[in-house]
Amino acid sequence: MKHTVYVVGIGPGGPAGMTAEARQVLDRCDCIIGYTTYIGLIKEEYSHKELLDTGMTKEADRCRLVIDKAREGKTVALVSSGDAGVYGMAGIMHEVAADCDDIDVVVVAGVTAACSGAALLGAPLTHDVCLISLSDLLTPWEVIEKRLRCAAEGDFVIVLYNPASKKRAGYLRKACQIILPYRPGNTPAGIVRHIGRDGETAEITTLTQLQDMVLDMFSTVFIGNSQTKVLKEKMVTPRGYVL
């Protein structure tokens, strides 16, 4: 018998950021599984369902739990905040299910932090953009450095996911120092925190000042390209239209 399991991006925060399709899938599920913080975001709404949370670094176990529950005959969704396909659980769920002929994986897209954060800052992403995670938990730092350099050289707008954590103080400064030879120090930069959640903030600064900022893992960072400007306290990258 075939089982379909769902990997659902629930958007940045509360239910307002979820798509109708994501909501329909969760409404139909018997069991919702996710990292503790994400289950917390939907706990109130879905308290009548079987909700299972597992801690960080338990990603593969979480995917196997999804498969186990599906084989018990339950409709199961694995949730990620933002979009499950952008640094989320969609990839590993496909990998774990690759050897299971009875399991089909369906990904339901959501609004990723690059998009929800950009909306708060203004419109920093209306030209070509790179998303780079500064976490070296799974990626060697040399690879991250090379990508930062290539993104800077290509004059891409840059969005940094996971810009900092307790163990990784100083990574954001290192990233800025790689980018600074390619861009003026007064290049606009934006920081959003807790998008769509309590304590949401959006702040515009410069690349120079960004170096000294202390961020946490709930922050997303935006660095403008050569065309990005600040208009009425919003960060805007023109596409090039004649006004």
Residues in 133-172 that interact with its own copies by CB under 8 A: 133, 138-139, 143, 146-147, 149-151, 153-156
What's the Cα-to-Cα distance from 242 to each of 62, 147, 160, 238, 239, rounded to whole Å?
Answer: 50, 32, 30, 10, 9
Query: How far is residue 33 CA from its own chain's centroid?
Result: 18
SS3 142: helix
Widest distance between CA atoms in the chain: 59
What are the residues whose beta carbons fall under 8 Å from the beta carbon of 24, sequence distance 6 or more?
none
Nearest-approach distance from CB 7 to its own copies, in angstroms: 8
Establish if 31 lies at the interface with its own copies (CB under 8 A).
Answer: no
What are the residues whose beta carbons fall under 8 Å from the beta carbon of 98, sequence distance 6 or more?
none
Q: How many residues bind its own copies (CB under 8 A)?
A: 77
Amino acid at 29: C
Establish if 70 lies at the interface with its own copies (CB under 8 A).
Answer: no
- Beta strand pairing call for 31-35 and 50-54: parallel
In this structure, the number of other CB atoms found within 10 A of the CB of residue 216 comes to: 11
Establish if 1 lies at the interface with its own copies (CB under 8 A).
Answer: no
Instruction: Pick the closer one to its own copies by CB: 197 or 234.
Output: 234
Site for its own copies in 223-242 (CB under 8 A): 231-232, 234, 236-242
Binding mask 186-225 for its own copies (x = CB under 8 A): ----------------------------------------
Single out the residue of 112, 187, 219, 220 in contact with its own copies (rule: CB under 8 A): 112
In this structure, the number of other CB atoms found within 10 A of the CB of residue 185 comes to: 12
Instruction: Determine the interface stretch with its own copies among 17-25, 36-44, 46-54, 201-209 (rule: CB under 8 A).
Output: 17-25
Establish if 54 lies at the interface with its own copies (CB under 8 A).
Answer: no
Single out the residue of 71, 94, 168, 193 in contact with its own copies (rule: CB under 8 A): 94
Instruction: Pick the closer one to its own copies by CB: 21 or 212.
Output: 21
SS3 9: strand
Instruction: Pick the closer one to its own copies by CB: 39 or 100.
Output: 100
